[in-house]
Amino acid sequence: MNKLGFHCKALSHIQDRLLSNGLQRGEFYNMPPGDTADLQRLVKQHRLAASVHTPLVQTPWYPDPPTWAFLCDPDQEKRTLNLRLIEETLCRVQGWAEYVVVHFPSPPVSDSDGPEEIRNIAEESALKLAQLSRKYGTPIHVEGFGPSPLLSVDFLKQVLAQCPELRYCFDTGHMNLAAKRDGLDIFHFAQEMSPYIGSMHLWNARNFDDYVHFRHIPVHPGQRPEQGWADIPRLVKTVLAQNDSCAIILESNDGYPAELGGYDYREGIAWLKQLITISS
């Protein structure tokens, strides 16, 4: 079950979220700078498969939240700052992380430039990501985030065909929200992008109110698509049918909101283990 892992933001999560649930994969994010040596030691000690969501360490010089991305923004200084953050992360993980996740495409902060100019900026940023991937010998998985005209199959296929160093990270929560916001066909998107997908982030939300109040809700078999939840079994099966090497990361906390049922998040892990076994 090395395909399934959990998002970790502290060294204690290795025991609490991974080992205690029989998982041997972790995706690490925004940790204290002083923890990186112990992190590498624990990854080696427990023989964990490891990936990193940019940034690996807390970075005081980058805008908050640290996941905010500027690679599609017309502001050159912001793009340069974002690339600096990504390169710093790649440098820190060289030799021990399987891949690094980067938010791209993402909505530009400024809309002063037209759609064609934004597309050209994004293509240029993608080429720079590919160069960084080659420089540090680490694949980069790009994750679409937020309302962006570039969050489309056609654009992403073009970019990924031009830059084989890049793969796609399919995020079930963000894509479910995009489906509701933009009318995107989430299953068509998953089907078409499957050959390019390197990893999946699994979490859920019925709507934007859920996201605002609870952020990343753990996936659970009690979440019914007819109630607005993302259809996790169908999405996982769709991707794994064409790409059974895809890493699957639970990108949520390990507590379920009491207001939504207070389920035990570990029931979701057991459910996913069965889904992955059936789909693979």
Tens-place pLDDT, residues 158-187:
999 999 999 999 999 999 999 999 999 999
In the chain, where the domains are located: 4-279
Best CA proximity match to 94, nearest among 126, 50, 137, 146: 137
CA distance 172 to 177: 9
Task: Give the CATH number of domain 4-279.
Answer: 3.20.20.150
Residue 5 confidence class, pLDDT cut points 50, 70, 90: very high
Residue 1 clears pLDDT 70, i.e. is over it:
no
Answer yes or no: are the C-beta atoms of 147 and 182 closer than 8 Å. Answer: yes
- The pLDDT score that the predictor gives to residue 161 is 96
Tens-place pLDDT, residues 92-119:
999 999 999 999 999 887 666 688 999 9
Tens-place pLDDT, residues 56-80:
999 999 999 999 999 999 999 999 9
Say whether pTM exceeds 0.95.
Answer: yes
Tens-place pLDDT, residues 143-159:
998 889 899 999 999 99
